[in-house]
Structure 1
Amino acid sequence: MAGDRQSKTDFDVVVVGGGPGGYVAAIRAGQLGLRTACIEADKLGGVCLNIGCIPTKALLSSALMVNELKHAGGHGITFDGFTADLGPAQKRSRSVAAKLSNGVSFLLRKNKVAHIEGYGRLLGGGRVEVDNNGEKQVISARDIIIATGSRPRSLPFLQIDEERIWSSTGALFQDEAPETLVVVGAGAVGMEFADIYNAYGTKVTVIEALDRVLPLEDKDCSRTVATAFKKRKMDIFTSARVESTEVVDDGVVISFTDKRGKAHRLEVDYVLSAVGRIPNTEDIGLEAAGVKVTERGNFVAVDEAMRTNVPGIWAVGDCAGQQLLAHKGMHEGVVAAEHIAGVGHHTVDYANVPNCTYCHPEVASVGLTEDQAREKGLDIEVGKFPWAGNGRALAAGDSTGFVKVIRDKRYSEVVGAHIVGPHATELIAEFVMARHLESTVEEIDLAMHPHPTLSEAVAEGALGALGRPLHI
């Protein structure tokens, strides 16, 4: 009996958190023959799968369909009118998320990973306390991987209550589109929800503190998306400062100043706060275990192999900083598991992490922006191929945007790639692979791209960086 009890609580690896970084780390550890447990207080899949990436993309797919129906006349499709109802779309998004969460549970079982329900807290000495609604147990492991994720940030003048002032979570669970919505923050999250609610008939206003929407993207990308959103009757204020928000009986009063210093006061139904995320590093036992956090941001401090300062404790995903992206966390999970197993030979290339925004038009990028490349003093050539020159995009009736390629003249390698337009988030992978393999732009072009496809624009962008595009 004692041996049985020990076998249920002693592991080679314990992963605290079942989001993308955590469950992938657990799966890889299981594949490598390590006795592994994954602790999760909520649903497997974490924020991304349950209240982030996946349900948001389901809603964006629905929103795209709504927008396409609005312009169906050119395809010979006519009707007296149609109703766009957010409720069924929201229900569908939950179904998609639930299906994938169940899939993670299956994958853990397949790889012999124990799924332990409850809140994990490090105790030090290779021990983790698991609190499942007051029922506590202590499990031990040779190695512990912290993968506790992140949560939406509140600001003093923008306190999230999920009733009138939403985070992305609140925005996901609405079954009716309001008449008016202000989105504070024009990063990927803000622009995606602006897209969704605009499609379902909401009057959307976007407020951004920096000088452009999608401020981390290349300026050409930001400019194109802003123009597209304005054509859809969205109001956009950049270089704007929110002064206050006040919840009233039937809405929210938000006061802000625009870039010219003019004061604005809007009364709207709801406000969405999309001003970033902070790591879940409090109350997880870091102090008890002696794990250090970064001075800025309170992220778990790690090295290139995802080790913390404490031997046997590792951290991956949002709680470990760098880009707060699911695919980055997944790669970190694999790196940590392989180093624990003694077969780790690689690290994460943070300079080659793709960024994707799934609004319409889509935006995707990897590497340096044009401004960043010039600031670094690189000798570059820039190619920019518009979708208007691509037969497949024109045939589909979706030709807004471009493929932009920045090449280093010395080695002719891709310094940065930026795509705005149809299926940008899929096409960017070709540039990620090219950069990973240190391919030249000539090699990208020499790899034959099928016709007519959107992928031809990748080759044309590469040719553009050589000053010789064929179809523009």
Structure 2
Amino acid sequence: MADTNYDVIIIGSGPGGYVTAIRSAQLGLKTAIVEREHLGGICLNWGCIPTKALLRSAEILDHANHAKSFGLTLEGSMKADVKDVVARSRGVSARLNGGVGFLMKKNKIDVIWGEAKLAKPGQIVVGKSSKPAVEPQHPVPKGVKGEGTYTAKHIIVATGARPRALPGIEPDGKLIWTYFEAMKPAKMPKSLVVMGSGAIGIEFASFYLSMGVDVTVVELMANVMPVEDEEISKFARKALEKRGLKIITEAKVTKVDKAANSITAHVETKDGKVSQITADHLISAVGVQGNIENIGLEALGVKTDRGCVVIDEYGRTSVPGIYAIGDVAGPPMLAHKAEHEGVICIEKIAGVPGVHPMDHRKIPGCTYCNPQVASVGLTEAKAKEQGRDIRVGRYMFNANGKAIALGEDNGLIKVIFDKKTGELLGAHMCGAEVTELIQGFIVAMNLETTEEELMHTIFPHPTLSEMMKEAVLDAYGKVLNA
């Protein structure tokens, strides 16, 4: 009879789940992970990774369409083959899916295939998955366990999240899409309406825009990417509109009429006026909600709030022995937050000394549209709301040699410091490769670096990273190259 007793069982193999499982095994705990659909979860299979593969194709197409500005002539016309673009994206996902399977085997973590339900604290029952069959690119790993009853002293819920649906505008998989359908279109649409301008909405809007699609974004708030610093948001909007993206803010889609092969969105602005936009499809990108249903949380009395599991700073729920991490445990719903949260949770369980809670102020956000947006820490508005006396520094890409040489000279870096202490409170960027640059400011914040230490740091030349130092210098009236 197969062994069904573990120290730790993790429900869900997304970034939070599988990373937590690896750390658990490293700490000497007998570990199993339950998955109902595909290793790597939404992020690896339908989110973070395959969307970046799509956006890479879009980026190359954008560069090709501007080859003349680099002194290059391309023979014939450059166009996208949607079938091949999607196939590459799915292939990237499949490669990493297999990588997670390898990591489970390498770390001697048992994979239990099926749908888990909490029977009682310390026990789960795994039944047959209700999800569709796994894609051919993502085969079920060999040697996994299946249906049955399993026990563990510690059970960690890492079931992730799914697209949120608005009443009356529910996705149907044909005319109204979520990111699932938007990621693998059978053919390239001629026009799209994107409902919501968070990271998911703007990334898909940017991708389809690069593919030659007529795209309109409808956003309820006053600014696109509303969680970002207002100045950065406005800068990004201007750049996106210059590329041809149509953006309607302070508006909502109140109704969607469906025809055989098109939709008509009724868009109401804050003044009550209603207009109609007809397009091939509508992408619903109005956020996500935690997967808390049908896993036994209610019966055990696990406290939830607004569609997410309530946890303390170490991932503990209201029921001893049951934990939650990642998207299912609430915002920000980001893969890197889930991974870090999972490591904190399992290290606390294992009694690792010196474990401390995650500082939510230091969780970066990245949006991979063109131009990219990245940020960490307080926005200027939030810093002022907290009564901080601040210094703000800015630096434009068009004053940076590397950005000009790359032909990517439209961008902005903004930093916010506490005037009294020199503490770096926030950093906000829009421009080429800022999702790679932001980590420098994250490290600085984590090390409690002051403005003086940043100004004394030598940045290599010529690089985009030099702009980070120049923005700091600007905050203190010492900017050199502007």
TM over 0.5: yes
Instruction: Name the counterpart of 1:317.
Output: 326
SS of match in other structure, 2:298: helix
**Residue 395 (structure 1) aligned with residue 405 (structure 2):** yes
Percent of matched pairs sharing the same residue: 46
User: Residue deviations 1:205-255, cap 9 Å, x none?
Assistant: 010010011111011111111111111222110001211012211111110
**Residue 329 (structure 1) aligned with residue 324 (structure 2):** no
SS of match in other structure, 1:44: coil
**Pairs aligned (count):** 465
From 290, 313, 316, give the equivalent of 1:307: 316
**Residue 167 (structure 1) aligned with residue 178 (structure 2):** yes
User: Residue deviations 1:36-68, cap 9 Å, x none?
Assistant: 000000111100000000000000111011111
Q: Matches of 1:166 and 1:455 in 2, distance apart? A: 38
**Residue 52 (structure 1) aligned with residue 47 (structure 2):** yes
List aligned pairs for 1:183-262, cutoff 5 A. Answer: 183-262=194-273
Q: Matches of 2:325 and 2:364 in 1, distance apart? A: 18
SS of match in other structure, 2:436: helix
Q: Matches of 2:171 and 2:80 in 1, distance apart? A: 28
List aligned pairs for 1:63-102, cutoff 5 A. Answer: 63-79=58-74, 80-102=76-98
From 423, 428, 439, give the equivalent of 1:418: 428
Give the letter aligned to residue 376 of structure 1. Q
Instruction: Name the counterpart of 1:30.
Output: 25
Give the letter aligned to residue 250 of structure 1. N
**Residue 283 (structure 1) aligned with residue 279 (structure 2):** no
Instruction: Name the counterpart of 2:125.
Output: 129
**Which deviates further from its counterpart, 252-261 or 277-286?**
252-261
- Change beyond 3 A, Cα 1:62–1:208: same
Q: Matches of 1:262 and 1:433 in 2, distance apart? A: 47
Instruction: Name the counterpart of 1:363.
Output: 373
> How much does 1:301 deviate?
0.9
**Residue 455 (structure 1) aligned with residue 450 (structure 2):** no
Structure 2 unaligned regions, length at least 5: 131-145
SS of match in other structure, 2:309: coil
Q: Matches of 1:243 and 1:143 in 2, distance apart? A: 45
Q: Matches of 2:452 and 2:461 in 1, distance apart? A: 19
Q: Matches of 1:133 and 1:443 in 2, distance apart? A: 54
> How much does 1:260 deviate?
4.3
User: Residue deviations 1:46-100, cap 9 Å, x none?
Assistant: 0000000000000011101111111110112113422222221111000000100
Give the letter aligned to residue 333 of structure 2. L
8 Å Cα contact 1:14/1:37 also seen in 2: yes
- Change beyond 3 A, Cα 1:133–1:159: closer
Q: Matches of 1:248 and 1:367 in 2, distance apart? A: 45
> How much does 1:394 deviate?
0.6
8 Å Cα contact 1:442/1:463 also seen in 2: no
TM-score, scaled to structure 2: 0.95
> How much does 1:426 deviate?
0.8
User: Residue deviations 1:361-396, cap 9 Å, x none?
Assistant: 100000111111111110001000001111110110
SS of match in other structure, 2:344: helix
> How much does 1:262 deviate?
2.8
User: Residue deviations 1:147-190, cap 9 Å, x none?
Assistant: 00000000013211111100111100114210010000011111
SS of match in other structure, 1:243: strand
**Which deviates further from its counterpart, 339-348 or 328-337?**
339-348
> How much does 1:133 deviate?
4.5
RMSD of equivalent CA atoms: 1.2
